Amino acid sequence: MMNPSEVWEGRRTETTHVYSLDNIAPMANNPFGVRDDEDMEALVESIRQFGVLNPIIVRERRRFGDKYEIVSGHRRYEACKRLGKFDIPVIVRELDDDEAVLTMVDSNLHRERRLPSEKSFG
């Protein structure tokens, strides 16, 4: 199994795109969830003022048709939906299931407030 940072550094190329929210689906069984709290309100306000500063990370999922699955950025995706935005900047990475979970866990470990269940999953 690879370290998430090795997945794209030196081995695979990636570019940032802007995709329609309609072509993106949340990762099934995301243990970190999206809570409706004051952090979410602050994120919505930040995106309202400045836009999405960091692209979300997605991977292709053929089982979803033409959709992409969110690996990192569920909260940014939800904030954009709440604001009525139609699209979001994304980075598409070629990740298998294990690499996707490692990337998701790594990106969520940096959040300040996590539930005990989220900490145990990580």
d(CA 48, CA 60): 28
Per-residue pLDDT tens digits for 93-115: 988 889 988 888 888 776 555 44
Domain range annotation of the chain: 16-112
Fold of 16-112: 3.90.1530
d(CA 111, CA 95): 22
Query: How many residues appear in the chain?
Result: 122
Per-residue pLDDT tens digits for 35-90: 888 999 999 999 999 999 999 999 988 666 678 999 999 999 999 999 999 999 99
**Which pTM does this prediction carry?**
0.76
